[in-house]
Structure 1
Amino acid sequence: MIPMVDLTAQYPLIREEIERELSKVLDGAQFILGPNVQAFEQETADYLGVKHAVACASGTDALHLALRAAGIGAGDEVITSPFTFIATAEAIRYVGATPVFVDIEPDTMNLDPDLVRQAITERTRAILPVHLFGHPAEITPLQQLAYDNGLLLIEDCAQSFGATVDGVQTGAFGIAGCHSFFPSKNLGCYGDGGLVSTNSDAIAEELKVYRNHGSRERYYHHVIGYNSRLDEMQAVILRAKLRHIDSFNAGRRRAAHAYSEALGELPGVVVPSERPGMQHVYHQYTLLSDRRDTILAALREKQIGCAVYYPVPLHQQEVFKEDCKGQMLSVTEDIARRCMSLPIFPELNDAQIDEVTSTVKSVF
């Protein structure tokens, strides 16, 4: 069996440093907002090249808290992608705003800036691009659109930790970058975790209040907040992994490039591309094929991990029916019909890559 992601292959590389530091946490018994959370926030801010990094309980919370800290609420519209995990749009709904879905680019599967421009109305408050599967969105034109129209730019970086545009990390372009540390992410903990990166002192301060029950001073509460704090022991794991994130991402890129070299000439198969100046970190390796279902069946027969991200775009989900009113987004719908993802993780070896690619080729 070749899994979609193999965390057991990675753990031996970092076991000693994780277990040593976890032992210190257990001995010290400081489990909430302790020194490892603080150190992880500073180390992550340094890595991303931002002033502040505020940890929270999940990537979904990162989106929710960032939107609320930015002052987005009822009556506002937020332009975002229909081709992403539901958390992106859930968070918009959490603050009472309306998600406005626009179509995506066929190669990167990220927001199309030209269509974003057309979707801006007097109610639009923010643009929320998703750096899907680890490939950065076209962030420069989206930044310009936000600036020209007095809008906020909030990045969904749940799948893009370590991805860059002209050497600048995703999560450093907007008023806030929202990161997920779900176990399968490029930088993942062993449970749930999230973080918001920002260069805004005001946003950072609001985030710290909202994540901790709306309190700036213990037992004094100024607003209704949330219990959304990164666990101290998860911070230990993330600190250990952060030290290796560049090599982990390099391993993903190595595997992805091997896949593309082996599969890129197959008829009707479109492998992922990388735009100039952008570093893709391959949270998922997603290709397109009209023969998707046949390929998936062949892989499953060999017990090779495979998945479809995402079979039902958000504008077609029942929960957003009233927002979308029968909206048709042709590129998104075509990609949802043809997309599929292969196993991808830093430790994927040549023999496993050969097994995956030979199985895909057998369909043709």
Structure 2
Amino acid sequence: MNRNIPFLDLVTPHVELEEELVHVFRKALHTAGFIGGAALQNFEKNFAEFCQTNECVGVASGTDALLLAFLAGGIHPGETVLTVANTFIATAEAITQAGAVPEFVDIEEGTYTMDAQELRRYLESCPSDPVTGKRLSRRTGNPITAVVPVHLYGQMADMDSIMEIADEFGLQVYEDACQAHGAKYFSQRENRWLTAGSIGRAAAFSFYPGKNLGACGEAGAVTTNDPEIARKVRILRDHGQPRKYFHEAIGYNGRLDSIQAGILDVKLKHLSRWTEQRRAAAKVYDKLLSEIEGIFLPLERENFLSVYHLYVIHTRERDSIQQKLTKKGIGTGIHYPVPLHLQPAYAFLGYGEGDLPVTEASAAMTLSLPMYPNISSQDQEYVAQVLSCAMEEAIVTV
């Protein structure tokens, strides 16, 4: 008989924490504390400690977190910001909304995060401004001022290499950590473990409900060790006002409401346990799937700790395999089937097929399997069994 295995189980953790979460709502009702206040301040303090940063500023979404971090950090209209194309559009969208121009660097095979050597090759191929020494975009002729690595599927990019290159070429670094709450790696540069969100000038987190730390609605945060960036984000998120009716800048309505902050603070206490459950589930998948011909398992770098926001395999038989899994009651996902450089929204940049070969190959093969803290080993065994049979059929058919 077919089982019903969801791609993501958002019901169970909320039911388990129902009384704590309802208490947050009751407290807001009884105090009318809907915007700002202790709930927001407590979450910002606790999440900053979790990320090992000095500052955390809650905002309305992960997209707002990216945009406000760029604006607070001094990304200017017309400048070029380098990132990757295998990410949700919010990464590039926020660059565009800040007035800058995104350009894309290819990714590594296996980890599917920014390829540091491709980043270096691209920068070395660009001309230098004779006055400032800044590298100039080959596409626009404007200065390249920043790079935004994306910590994809829960694993951090090669930040030691990226930071070294950024220092060499005078680039700001902003982390897109929207899928990497609590991810870590051992930095050879600093000889210690570093946490996602603590490395660049600032980092953006999303707390969309499906994230490892998810709100019951939209929410996000900026983390940084720069108090001036934190101050500016706080002003920008609240209509540019450092205090009510006094507007230092033209800002945004990008506040994180108190109920969502309180919900996130409750869940944050459980995040480390949930992460360990995700990592244990990933090991089960690794063992069960390692002998199946025709699939490529996610690669976790040595001395990196992925939080497995997603468990993503790659196979050339992706579409037929997904159909077979669906028929057997197994939920799956396909993340970023059309890379950003080939999306109509960014056609004006002039990219074409073949410009980012690893990114494009990945987009055609990526398939995300069910992954959540409470997934059972029995359900994983069923997924593996169905996947193995589906791959055998696909290979025979070919």
Give TM class, smaller chain.
over 0.9
1:238-295, Cα deviation, whole Å (9 max, x unpaired): 0011001111111111111111111112112110111111101111110011111121
Residue 54 of structure 1 contacts residue 204 of structure 1 at CA under 8 Å; is this kept in 2? yes
Match of 2:34 among 11, 18, 31: 31
Quote the residue 2:226 is aligned against. Answer: 200
The answer on 1:161 being equivalent to 2:174 is no
Amino acid at match of 2:221: L
Aligned to 2:166: 146
Cα deviations by residue, 1:130-157 (Å, 9 ceiling, x for unpaired): 0000011000111111112221100000
C-alpha separation in 2, matches of 1:285 and 1:300: 17
Residue in 2 aligned with 1:75? 78
* 2:146 is the alignment partner of 1:126: yes
Counterpart of 2:384 in structure 1 is: 357
Task: State the Cα deviation string for residues 20-63 of structure 1 (Å, max 9, x = none).
Answer: 23211210111101211110000001111111000000000000
For 2:240, the equivalent position in structure 1 comes to: 214
Distance 2:220 2:243 in 1: 23
Aligned equivalent of 1:8: 11
Task: Give the drift of 1:91.
Answer: 0.3
Q: Deviations over 1:295-316 (max 9, x none)?
A: 1011110121111111100110
TM-score by length of 1: 0.98
Task: Check whether the contact 1:60–1:87 (CA below 8 A) recurs between aligned residues.
Answer: yes
One of 350, 355, 358 as aligned partner of 1:331: 358
> Which of 130, 136, 146 is 2:156 aligned to?
136
Q: 1:184 maps to what in 2?
A: 210
Runs (5+) with no aligned partner, structure 2: 124-134, 137-142, 187-192, 393-398
Number of residue-to-residue matches in the alignment? 364
Distance in 2 between residues matched to 1:86 and 1:12, nearest whole Å: 32
Which position in structure 1 is the counterpart of 2:273?
247
Structure 2 counterpart of 1:54: 57
Aligned counterpart in structure 2 of residue 300 of structure 1, from 299, 311, 326 = 326
Q: 1:288 aligns with which of 288, 300, 314?
A: 314
Q: Distance in 2 between matches of 1:204 and 1:145?
A: 25
Shift of 1:326: 2.2
In the alignment, the residues of structure 2 paired with residue 325 and residue 104 of structure 1 have an alpha-carbon distance, to the nearest angstrom, of 16
1:257 aligns with 2:283: yes
Match of 1:173 in 2: 199
Match of 2:47 among 44, 68, 75: 44
Q: Distance in 2 between matches of 1:16 and 1:95?
A: 41
Corresponding letter in the other structure for 1:333 = E
User: In 2, distance between residues paired with 1:75 and 1:347?
Assistant: 46
CA deviations 1:140-180 (Å, max 9, x no partner) are 11111111222110000000001001231110000001000
Of 105, 111, 117, the residue aligned with 1:102 is 105
Give a deviation string over 1:198-231, Cα, whole Å, max 9, x none.
Answer: 0001100000010000001210112110001111
Residue 79 of structure 1 contacts residue 119 of structure 1 at CA under 8 Å; is this kept in 2?
no
TM-score using structure 2 length: 0.90
Does residue 116 of structure 1 match 2:119?
yes
Partner secondary structure for residue 110 of structure 2: coil
How far apart, in 1, do the equivalents of 2:5 and 2:293 lie?
Answer: 25
In 2: Cα distance, 1:4 partner to 1:227 partner: 33
Tell me by how many angstroms 1:117 deviates. 1.5
Equivalent residue letter for 2:108: E
* Larger displacement relative to structure 2 (275-284 or 6-15): 6-15
Structure 1 portions without partners, runs of 5+: none
Task: Give deviations 1:64-116, integer Å, cap 9, x for gaps.
Answer: 00011111121211110111000000000001101010100011000001111
Distance 2:33 2:215 in 1: 19
* Bigger radius of gyration: 2
Deviation string, structure 1 residues 302-334 (Cα, Å, up to 9, x no partner):
121111111100110011112133261110111
**What's 1:84 paired with?**
87
Please report the RMSD computed on the Cα atoms of aligned residues, expressed in angstroms: 1.0
Q: Give the conservation status (yes or no) of the 8 Å contact 2:342–2:351.
A: no
- SS of residue paired to 2:47: helix
Q: What is the DSSP-based 3-state SS (H/G/I as helix, E as strand, rest coil) of the residue aligned with 1:20?
A: helix
Give the drift of 1:355: 1.6
